[in-house]
């Protein structure tokens, strides 16, 4: 029943979100149309439920040919457009994913959908487990790694190496934890913490609100 109820809730919330946010999204669309390269939406192949690919929607934040030079992005990436930097920092660029939720590709809460390049960096034992749930607009992994791009920018390692060695092992463990512990109450708490994150979330709240997370204080301090 959890999956059925969650799908109904996702459809209702996505519909309400698109209606309520439309007066705010229209100015964003106009700014994107008149700046940068004039593009508004970016559709990218990601892995979803049971590792099946789908096209995720975002507002454009980077140069059009950016995917050809890599899909892992740091906060100081020169491919990011000026207005795109604002959209990424505020996570507004993710809002078109409400359309993905409405059509059933995604859920409001779940593991973040990765590109095939990034997913390929997971160990073989994690790959069958991550997307047993529909990927989400928000999730425990994206909450803890809200400033992932800054971590990549500050690291002395190449982006791919930092992502594979320092981020993915922890993020993968968090996403598997969610798959094993998902419930309406867990989802509600993740949504509440996501709202807090808009005002600079205290990452320690994740440890306080979710007992048994596969993460240490040292991991949080690193982030």
- Residue 147 above 80 pLDDT? no
pLDDT of residue 208: 84
Structure tokens at 34: 């008149």
Q: Given a cut of 70, is residue 214 above it in pLDDT?
A: yes
- At 160 the pLDDT is 80
Cβ(119)–Cβ(127) below 8 Å? yes
* DSSP conformational letter for 54: E
| Residue 42, beta-bridge partner list | 58
Nearest partner of 113 among 195, 179, 55, judged by Cα: 55
Q: What is the pLDDT, as a whole number, of residue 50?
A: 93
Residues 84-138 pLDDT 10s: 888 888 888 999 999 999 999 999 999 999 999 889 888 899 899 999 999 999 9
Listed by start position, the domains of the chain span 2-222
**Most confident of the ranges 51-60, 73-82, 161-170:** 51-60
First to last CA, the chain: 36
Q: Confidence class of residue 68 from pLDDT cuts 50, 70 and 90?
A: low
DSSP code of residue 49: G
Residues linked to residue 107 through DSSP beta bridges, in sequence order: 136
More confident residue, 148 or 35: 35
Nearest alpha-carbon partner for 135 in 22, 47, 7, 18: 47
Average pLDDT rounded to a whole number, residues 173-191:
94
The per-residue pLDDT for 19 is 94
What is the β-pairing status of strands 53-59 and 107-109?
unpaired
Q: Are 190 and 111 in contact (CB under 8 A)?
A: no
């Amino acid at each position: 029943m959890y999956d059925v109820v969650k799908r109904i809730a996702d459809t209702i919330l996505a519909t309400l979100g698109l209606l309520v946010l439309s007066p705010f999204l229209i100015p964003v669309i106009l700014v994107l149309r008149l700046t940068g390269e004039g593009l508004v939406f970016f559709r990218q192949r990601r892995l979803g439920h049971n590792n099946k690919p789908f096209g995720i929607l975002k507002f454009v934040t980077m140069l059009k040919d950016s995917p050809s030079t890599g899909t892992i992005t740091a906060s100081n990436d020169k491919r990011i457009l000026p207005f795109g930097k604002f959209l990424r920092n505020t996570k507004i660029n993710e809002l078109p994913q409400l359309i993905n939720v409405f059509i059933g590709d995604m859920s409001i809460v779940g593991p973040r959908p990765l590109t095939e390049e990034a997913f390929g960096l997971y160990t073989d034992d994690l790959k069958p487990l991550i997307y047993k749930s529909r990927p989400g607009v928000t999730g425990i992994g994206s909450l803890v790694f809200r400033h992932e791009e800054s971590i990549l920018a500050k690291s002395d390692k190449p982006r791919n190496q930092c992502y594979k060695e320092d981020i993915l092992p922890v993020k993968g463990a968090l996403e598997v934890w969610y798959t094993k512990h998902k419930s309406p109450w867990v989802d509600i708490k993740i949504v509440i913490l996501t709202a807090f994150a808009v005002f600079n979330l205290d990452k320690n709240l994740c440890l306080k609100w979710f007992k048994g997370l596969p993460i240490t204080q040292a991991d949080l301090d690193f982030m």
